[in-house]
Amino acid sequence: MDSDYSEEAYAASSSEGDASMLSSDDDYAFDNAAAQFSSKSKVPYVILRREDVAQRQQKAINEVTSVLGLNSDEATRVLRRFKWDVNRVNEEWFSDVDAVRRAVGLLEEPAAETPRASAKCRICFDEFPKASMHAGPCRHYFCGDCWRGYTHEAVCSGPACLDLRCPLPECKVAVPSPLVLQQLPPGDVAKYDTFLLRSFVEDNRVMSWCTGANCDAAVQCLVERAPEEPLDVLCTCTTTFCFNCKEEAHRPVACDTVRKWVTKNSAESENLNWILANTKPCPKCHRPIEKNQGCMHMTCSQCRHEFCWLCNGPWGEHGERTGGFYACNRFEVAAKAGEYDDEARRRDNAKASLERYMHYFERWDAHNKARDKARQEAARTAGEALEALSDLTRTPTSQLRFIMDAWAQVIECRRSLKWTYAYGYYAFEDEMTRPELGRQRAFFEFLQGDAERSLDQLHEVAEMRLRALREEYAAAGAIPSDVFQDFRKRLIGLTDVTRSFFDKLVKQLEKGFAGIERDFAGEPLPAPAAGDDGAGPSSGGGAAASGAGASGSGGGGGAAAGKKRRGGGRDWVCSHCTLSNKGASNDCEACGLPRPD
């Protein structure tokens, strides 16, 4: 498929993909993808309709037939063997043609015919005239009824019918597709054709079906990628997914991290961890018991055994001399002497592990819910709200695109921010045994906090400020031009600043944090702002609320972290939009406000 991946094809396909995403039918498809925010950027994939897939499939078949001198059916079989890779087909064919023929069941020449007018069917063993029988290149004849039954069962069994071999068990010769189709009823022919088209996408390393419900579009990747490198795809149906693992789009987090995180969220292991961390087995019947009150005097509801929650000793041996109902001297003495039993250690470890997991999961889930609500609000804004704003500002809706761009940025950033918590959970889980991870985590949380605060400001302006403008001037019937222009300038500036912050965060996560010891040698990393949530053994920051203004710093520097927060000593941070500006500039590059004294 070398011609498919030429620079000319890449440019043409990318343009085709951009055009499809920006069509009038999908003007407000505000889901997440890395490239949809700028029509100038080229996406590394193209969205294909079923007819486009069929054309590309036929093109690959034609290339093989012209180079190798095979017929269409033989070329198709060889291409399927090598995952529809034309280049590899050519290499393998000219390297060892006999091995390729054996692998796909192709004879160099058909077997010789026997000069008989009739033959015995090798399935039903009845004698038939040869004229009413059928055979492949191997010349093994079977009657029409047996062929029809054989091919029908093969199609009903699934895509394996594309590699159908001779019914004779010891014969490995392929049955030509014209012979197969000749025996099938129309319904089975349609299934066979569908299997063949699906094979071109599902067996092809550079193609994939869209994961959206009721969407039959395919995606063709146009660039070379590492096997585990994520690629976020935005389909014309607005579904977003990772080309590599088929989960929801999750760049910059690796596919393996996403798999582990999704599995952990749905696994029974967390239920077992909770049971281990919050219950104890009854010393007598060993059934798990949850302590739901403060008193240490426990009575098993099953066997009625009474015991001390702390030391597990019989309650009859306890009383005022051992500390009463809310303490246990025996346990405290044992704890000071280091006589913790293995069960207590396991319970404490499980509790610490569960608390750390819940710290990251709650923040991951909060941003997931905030993203869902942002999508709903964006859909509402794209409808009547945008028309109402157009009337209030005397502005065509086509010139209000910056509002929907801001919502698209909010939705995309909520997705990215959500997955940073899955990243943080796994990247720094060995911090207690690897001290260098503490410094890396501090830098990660600093970038995460910067991006999160910028996103919160953008979300608040896009939702709350816009709503306030509409309500404030609804009675007057018009928003003053200077007020609307100030709002427009601020929203566009915040959108650009937020995009910049998240670009930095994404690039750093993809690069990794192993090099920061060298890059920041001798320089103190920014400390978390006062009041930032530091819960958990490896804090990822405070929980994000589910609406606009959702806060939850990842532990990074605060909004007033100082003028050296992101730049050199002469750089300055705009107090309005938080953009870090060069020292030589007197006005903020994003919002245009003057530099503070």
17-26 long-range contacts, Cβ below 8 Å, gap at least 24? 17/43, 17/45, 17/46, 17/47, 18/42, 18/43, 20/47, 20/236, 21/47, 21/234, 21/236, 23/236, 26/236, 26/238
Q: What is the dihedral of CA 349, 448, 221, 210, to 10 degrees?
A: 70
Sequence-distant (≥ 6) Cβ neighbours of residue 593 within 8 angstroms: 574, 576, 577, 587
**What is the residue type of 394?**
R
Question: Which residue shows structure tokens 């590309």?
Answer: 56
Q: What is the dihedral of CA 223, 226, 229, 232, to 10 degrees?
A: 20
**What is the residue type of 297?**
H
Distances (CA, A) of 244 to 208, 231, 251, 461, 528: 9, 7, 11, 35, 36
Sequence-distant (≥ 6) Cβ neighbours of residue 433 within 8 angstroms: none
d(CA 509, CA 231): 15
- Find the helix or strand (DSSP H, E) in which 288 lies: strand 288-290
Contact between residue 586 and residue 592 where contact means Cβ atoms under 8 Å apart? no
Active site residue 171: no
Angle between helix axes 186-202 and 144-157 (nearest 10 degrees) is 40
The pair of structure tokens assigned to 21 is: 């995403």
Of 378, 384, 402, 352, whose CA–CA distance to 538 is shortest? 352
Q: Give me the residues paired with residue 308 across strands.
A: 297
Distances (CA, A) of 301 to 282, 306, 313: 10, 10, 17
- Find the helix or strand (DSSP H, E) in which 202 lies: helix 186-202
Distances (CA, A) of 303 to 157, 181, 276, 286, 363: 56, 71, 20, 10, 41
d(CA 5, CA 224): 10
Contact between residue 402 and residue 491 where contact means Cβ atoms under 8 Å apart? yes
| DSSP structural state of residue 542 | P
d(CA 251, CA 79): 32
Q: Give me the residues paired with residue 280 across strands.
A: 289
Phi, psi of 207, rounded to the nearest 5 degrees:
-135, 155
d(CA 166, CA 507): 55
Q: Are strands 288-290 and 279-281 parallel, antiparallel or unpaired?
A: antiparallel
- Find the helix or strand (DSSP H, E) in which 47 lies: strand 45-48
d(CA 424, CA 418): 11
Find the catalytic residue in 124, 156, 285, 295.
Answer: 295
The catalytic site residues sit at 295
